[in-house]
Structure 1
C-alpha cells in the first residue's frame, strides 16, 4: 500500500510525498524517484511493481508546483537536494539511491552531488545535461521552443506557455506503443499534471536552461545513464556530455528506444542499483 502524506519544510512549504512503506521486507535499498516534466509525482504502476518484486522501498514526491506541492519561486535544480533530504528525514531514511527520468534526471543528479553522505547510487534515464554552449544543446530536439524561451527567463517561458501545444513529433512509434501499453499510467499522469497548470513545467524548464547550482564533478556516487538513440525530446548528445562530466558513470545505449520506451529498462536499472556495494549506514 502506498502511503501519501504532505511533508512540512522549514520555510513553511509542503511537498506531497508517496511511500511504498517502511515495512518492505527485502534486500533492496530505498529508492527516491524523481518524476519527469510534467508529472504529479505519484508513483507509476510499472515502478511500484518492479520495486515490490525486488524488495525496494520506493519513495516519490511532487516537485514544487506539481501534484499538490507548494511552489518554490526561483528554484534551481540544486534545490531538490534540500527538499529530498527533508523528505528522507521525515520518513526515517538515512541512505538511499535516486532514479530520475527526463526532467527528473537532473534533480536525481543534484541529490547525488549535494547529499554525498546519503546517496548510494543514481540512475538517470533520458536526462538532460547542464546547459552549455560547448555543444549544440538543442540539436535533435523536436520541440526546443520551451527550453529556448526558458533560457531568457521565467517571464519569457510564461509567454511561451500561453500558446504552447504538444508536438506529436516528440515521440517515436515505440514511445506511443509504450504509452498505450505498460506506461499508460505515465500518459494519464502527465495529462493530470498539465491540467493543474503550467507552473511546475515552467519552473523546471527555467532551472534546466540556466545554472543548475552544482557541478557534475561533485557527483561522487556511481551513476547509470540510460539513453534511447531515437530520443527526440532529450537527444543522445546529452547522455554523452553527462558521461564525460561525471566521475563514476556508465552508459547504457538503447538503439531502438525513444523518450518513453527507454523506461522499460527501469527494472534492470533497479537491479544495477541493488548490485552496488552495501549502502551507507
Structure 2
C-alpha cells in the first residue's frame, strides 16, 4: 500500500450516566445548521472526503457519533434502537443545541427515526437514506430470492441470538477485506455509473483507516445493531409527526421496497429517488442536506 499522510478529524467524547463514553466528530462550519447523523451498519464517525466537502459547502454543522461498540464508543450489550435517543440528547446538550435535524443512512435510518419519534420537541426534520424497516423474523430461514426485503437471513439469525449472528458478521467482514486486499475500492462501484473506476482502497491511508475501523478493529457494534433491529425497536413509527423524507437509489430495489413499508407506516413521510445505488453519491447527499436545512 502506498502510504499518504492522513490525520483523522479531531475526536471528542461525552460520558453517559451508565459509565460509558460516546465518541464523535464534528464536520462543517461551527455556525451551520445543526444535524446529527447516524451512520450505516457497519460504519464509524470517520466520513469520506466527498461527504465532508458537501457538508462544508451546504451550511451544515454535522455531528457524527460512533454508536456503542464502534470506534471510541463503549459497547452497550442488549441495547435497543430507541436507546440511541439518550446518547443523542447528551450529544446535543454538549453542543448547546436545543433544536437540530437528524439523518441516517442504511442501518442508521432506524436510529434517526427513533430520535424523530422520541424527541419531537427537539428534532426539526428527519431524513433517512436506504433505511431498513422493521424486519420479519418468524418462520423458516429466508432464502436469497425473498421478495420482501424485511425477510432477510441476517435479521433471522439475529432473532435467534448472538451466537447465531456473529459468525455470519465475521465472515462478511473477512470477505470485504479480502476484496480490498485484492485491489478493490473502499466502496463498491455505483451501478448507475459503471464507467467510474474507483482507485484501490489499499493505496489510500485514509480509506484503509476507515475500513479497519469498520471491519477489523471490532465487530461488536455491527453485531449489536443487528440484534437491536431484530427485536422491538422501542418506538412506534406512526408516532412520528414531524417531517420525514425517505431516500433511495434508482438501482437499489431493496431500499425502494423498504421505503414503501416505511412510507406506509410514517404519517406524511415523503419518498425521494436519486440516481445511483445504495450508498448515496455526493449529489444525492447534497440534495438530502438541502432538504434538512430548508425547512
Superposed counterparts of 1:5-84, under 5 Å = 5-20=12-27, 24-25=30-31, 28-84=32-88
Deviation readout 1:233-257 (Å, 9 max, x if unpaired): x432110011111112100123x52
TM-score, L = length of structure 2:
0.79
The residue aligned with 1:150 is: 158
Count of equivalent residues = 267
The yes-or-no answer on 1:269 pairing with 2:282 is: no
Deviation readout 1:79-117 (Å, 9 max, x if unpaired): 111111111111211110011101111111011111110
Distance 1:179 1:245, change over 3 A: farther
The residue aligned with 1:226 is: 247
Deviation readout 1:213-271 (Å, 9 max, x if unpaired): 11101112101110124226x432110011111112100123x5221245641111111
The residue aligned with 1:250 is: 270
| Bigger radius of gyration | 2
From 129, 135, 140, the counterpart of 2:133: 129
Work out the CA distance in 1 between the residues paired with 2:255 and 2:24.
30
The residue aligned with 2:183 is: none
Preserved contact between residue 34 and residue 60 of structure 1 (Cα < 8 Å): yes
Structure 2: gaps spanning 5 or more residues:
1-7, 180-187
The residue aligned with 1:279 is: none
TM-score, L = length of structure 1:
0.83
Tell me how far 1:41 sits from its aligned partner.
Answer: 1.7
Preserved contact between residue 137 and residue 159 of structure 2 (Cα < 8 Å): no
The yes-or-no answer on 1:237 pairing with 2:257 is: yes
Distance 1:176 1:94, change over 3 A: farther
Superposed counterparts of 1:110-125, under 5 Å = 110-125=114-129
The residue aligned with 2:191 is: 173
Root-mean-square deviation over aligned CA pairs:
3.1
